[in-house]
Amino acid sequence: MEKHFIPVNIALLTISDTRTSDNDTSGKVLKERGIDASHHIVSQQIVPDDVYKIRAIISQWIADPDIQAVITTGGTGLTGRDGTPEAVKVLLDKEIEGFGELFRQISYQDIRTSTIQSRAIGGVANGTFIFCLPGSTGACKTAWDDILKEQFDARHRPCNFVELMPRLLEK
């Protein structure tokens, strides 16, 4: 049976104390790639590196039944201001450990051992997929091009995230 493409409704969040809509290159890359892949970017925001502000926005998005995926960029490093994983992990019903592992494995080809400084994570909360990416434009390209593009395509075999979306809230 032939599978058909199903667009995903995606919300994008840039986490940064310095980025604006004018210089948010990572957010722009994710938006362009999502649109080029025929998905819907239903919301896009920039928020400071503040665990509670990050958590508040993502909580609103995971409560919205029209948002199927959230992608964040920024705040996954090791500095004192990097708190994206701490903001998001408590919201997750299930963590997708393989996402961070695969992202770091792929990144190793480009940035070698510096990839260990990335705390990229993925998971599911209230039926919404959430992926937290580093703030670099290159990292966002890597995550989208080498992982998310295929997993957000219902035609990708042997399996993909889209075919799981209707089942995420099963009890």
The one-digit pLDDT tens for each residue of the chain (171 residues) are 678 999 999 999 999 999 999 999 999 999 999 999 999 999 999 999 999 999 999 999 999 999 999 999 999 989 889 999 999 999 999 999 999 999 999 999 999 998 999 999 999 999 999 999 999 999 999 999 999 999 999 999 999 999 999 887 777
E strands in the chain: 9-15, 40-47, 69-73, 94-95, 121-125, 128-133
Report how far apart the first and last C-alpha atoms of the chain are (Å, whole number).
Answer: 28
Quick one: which of 72, 94, 93 has its CA closest to 83? 72
Domain encompassing residue 143: 9-167
The verdict on residue 104 lying in a domain is yes
Q: Is 22 helix (H, G, I), strand (E, B) or coil?
A: coil
SS3 141: helix
- Does 86 fall in a domain? yes
Token reading at 130: 């959430």
Does the residue 159 lie in any domain?
yes
Asked if residue 4 is part of any domain, the answer here is: no
Q: Is residue 125 part of a domain?
A: yes
Where would I find the beta strands (DSSP E) of 16-155?
A: 40-47, 69-73, 94-95, 121-125, 128-133
> Which CATH number characterizes residue 69's domain?
3.40.980.10
Number of domains, the chain: 1
In a domain, 2, yes or no: no
